[in-house]
Structure 1
Amino acid sequence: MTHEHGHQTTTHEHAGHGHDHGDHAHGHGDHAHGTGLLDKVRHGLSEMFGMHSHDHADSADEALEGSARGMVALKVSFTALMVTAFAQLAIVYFTGSVALLADTIHNFSDALTAIPLYLAFVIGRRAATDRYLYGYKRAEDLAGLFIVLMILLSAIIAGWESFRRLLDPQPIEHIGVLFGAGVIGFLGNELVALYRIRIGKEIGSAALVADGHHARTDGLTSLAVALGAVGVWLGFEQADPIIGILISIAIFGVLRTAARDIFRRLMDGVDPEVRTQVEALALQVADVERVSSCRVRWLGHRMRAEVSVQVDGRMTVEQGHAVGDAVKQRLVEGVQHLTEVAVHIDTATTHASPAPVG
């Protein structure tokens, strides 16, 4: 008997199960947390410093959990960067440092990029509709595009202010305070960068990772401000605007990396190793003879795979469905960030047909 049938997952994202798989880099799930004050404090510290232990069997909906973790990361980092930026703004007023002003502008822009990204996480949690059949997860990548534009804007503003101050030098005061502000800015931004990048990688969010690299550049440029203060202290008055120009160049470097990553997400780009892994895992399932086709795409911080596998043409429809379920089970459990799998069953007619009777 020869047959062919499609096998897809649309109403629930885990083959044969009533739950999704999600965001953690190690492919584990939701957690059962106590409701007491001590448990809440422990959970909060775990979210901030990554001390969670995960049990795959406990997963209920990691895609939603990943969005929630991204939102927590944005709220924490937004608060930290705004405090740092306002502190630096006050020091700019007293010191007149254009390098610190450039760094402060970048800090404000970095903090403000958390707002559209936060909204994108909220929108991305909405269910699919008759018009948006894949849901709203792409909102996250659109927010990443906004982050790229903000990085570009901050680079242009910082470069212009530094160039203007280079042509019209202004005296720098309170050099010791300026140096301290640069060091503090570096430490604060680097902590935010580490936090954003770690959470972004764990949940598969290119936009959050890009925002983390944005913060890291802030940290490095804050350190450059401190070095500029040292240069002024040593008698090189133009050190401050020159450092400001170098800050702008550094921002353009981050812009290139962030733009590349976001462009790849918007164009459905994935690492070639992902496709190789999907095909290898599908071939491990019993009765799968070959993988006819394989496509993988990102939807926000989750991946969706569409796989066609070939089986013996003598299988029944029920047996073919069982193979499709097994393939989806294997892929969701084995591929990081993959939560949606559509499997199509192709049949192979490699066996000779019986001779006609009579």
Structure 2
Amino acid sequence: MSRPGPVHEQHTDHGHSQGHVHGHEHHHHSGFKGWLVELFVPHTHDAADSIDDAMEASTEGVRALKISLFLLLVTTLLQFLVVLISGSVALLADTIHNFSDALTAVPLWVAFILGRRAATRHYTYGFGRAEDLAGLFIVGVVALSAVIAAWQSVDRLLHPQPLSNLWWVFAAGLIGFAGNEAVAMYRIRVGRRIGSAALVADGVHARTDGFTSLAVVLGAVGVMLGFPLADPIVGMFISAAILVLLWGTVRSIGRRLMDGIEPDLIDAAHKALEGTPGVLAVPRLQLRWSGHRLQGAATLLVAHDVSLAAAEQTTHEAGQRLSHALPKVDDMVLTPLTATTKGSRA
């Protein structure tokens, strides 16, 4: 259940409140297009069922990584056994990629643990960025797996080898799809709850792996129908698909590292703050992700004839409204600014 975080006030010449505030609203697509968007580009957060305590969120993230790591390793082991008895290069490509996908859970696991550490004198914002750096490592591992799979496929095209036990290859492809889809559903669901883009991206990555496993099934069917080169061709297709789908992850991680933010989060924050009685405008609003938590600051323009106590009360109420509108936001600094003060600074 979502718990609105407290707003801790600190006072300056104009007053401000600093608090842990959480949540957001987002737009849902409809129809077939909406289904595709939600399948491969799901939202990073879920305001209806969020975990707004940073420690609890990290704990659930680590639990999700442990469980999904075990499932993927079991899937990879079963597929590798079939590779040994069948010689399918398409299945080998899929197995290599599934193994690399399992390994990507390790740096993300470490990042979640680092993110629990308190801020220090050298790292005054804490260690939330470790999660985004883990995302870069994930990108590198996935790209490397695509290159290895492509090399194996090209080698098999140049030096064809007969395949055996095709029904086992067929079954292994289905196992790969089932294992990856189970992991994808779990990672995406948890990632949305805790606000982790890296975990959601890893879940989408597992989902695409599941569909490439179905491509292995197509390769086996092609060989059964008398087209032996279908196996290495499908292996090359898998490698190309990995690289194409990887671009979405690169953009997501890159945006986080450049302090990019989803426009709907800004819109939700503006709506909450500007809807507070006594707030005339919000001339400055900043938000950024730090791992699976949000940080930010805003300036609230209030009437020039209000007292300092009234301005502080307005700021406190704005913080309360924001705490209900934006889950997963930490350290949101709200600074009241009177119209007279604004004019004197101009």
State TM-score, norm by structure 1: 0.83
Structure 1 residue ranges (4+ consecutive) displaced by more than 6 angstroms after TM superposition: 20-24
| Whole-Å separation in 2 of the counterparts to 1:212 and 1:287 | 43
* Within-5 A mapping of 1:334-345: 334-345=325-336
Structure 1 residue 279: deviation in Å? Answer: 1.2
Contact 2:23 2:47 in 1 (8 A): no
Q: Which residue among 41, 47, 50 is the counterpart of 1:26?
A: 47
Q: Which moved more, 1:104-113 or 1:323-332?
A: 323-332
User: Counterpart in 1 of 2:216?
Assistant: 225
SS at match of 1:25: coil
User: Counterpart in 2 of 1:7?
Assistant: 16
| Whole-Å separation in 1 of the counterparts to 2:92 and 2:49 | 43
Matched, 1:287 2:308: no
User: Counterpart in 1 of 2:40?
Assistant: none
Identity %: 50
CA deviation vs aligned residue, 1:78-102 (integer Å, no higher than 9, x gap): 0000011111111111100100100
* Within-5 A mapping of 1:60-139: 62-139=53-130
Q: Which residue among 159, 166, 178 is the counterpart of 1:168?
A: 159
Structure 1 residue 268: deviation in Å? Answer: 0.7
CA deviation vs aligned residue, 1:92-123 (integer Å, no higher than 9, x gap): 11100100100010011000000000110010
SS at match of 1:136: coil
Contact 1:21 1:339 in 2 (8 A): no
| Whole-Å separation in 2 of the counterparts to 1:116 and 1:143 | 5
Q: Which moved more, 1:115-124 or 1:129-138?
A: 129-138
Structure 1 residue 273: deviation in Å? Answer: 2.1
| Whole-Å separation in 2 of the counterparts to 1:264 and 1:210 | 13
User: Counterpart in 1 of 2:5?
Assistant: none
User: Counterpart in 2 of 1:302?
Assistant: 293
| Whole-Å separation in 2 of the counterparts to 1:21 and 1:69 | 18
Structure 1 residue 318: deviation in Å? Answer: 2.1
| Whole-Å separation in 2 of the counterparts to 1:87 and 1:27 | 38
| Whole-Å separation in 2 of the counterparts to 1:67 and 1:127 | 13
Structure 1 residue 305: deviation in Å? Answer: 2.3
Aligned amino acid, residue 65 of structure 2? L
| Whole-Å separation in 2 of the counterparts to 1:274 and 1:245 | 39
State TM-score, norm by structure 2: 0.85
SS at match of 1:338: strand
Gaps of 5+ in 2: 1-11, 25-43, 342-346
Aligned amino acid, residue 7 of structure 1? H
Indicate the structure (1 or 2) with the bigger Cα radius of gyration.
1
Contact 1:63 1:302 in 2 (8 A): yes
SS at match of 2:284: strand
Contact 1:29 1:62 in 2 (8 A): no
CA deviation vs aligned residue, 1:214-263 (integer Å, no higher than 9, x gap): 21122111111111111111110000000000000110122101101000
Cα 1:29–1:170 shift into 2, 3 Å:
closer
Flag the structure with more relative contact order, 1 or 2, with Cα contacts below 8 A and sequence separation at least 6. 2
Gaps of 5+ in 1: 15-19, 31-60, 351-358
SS at match of 1:120: helix
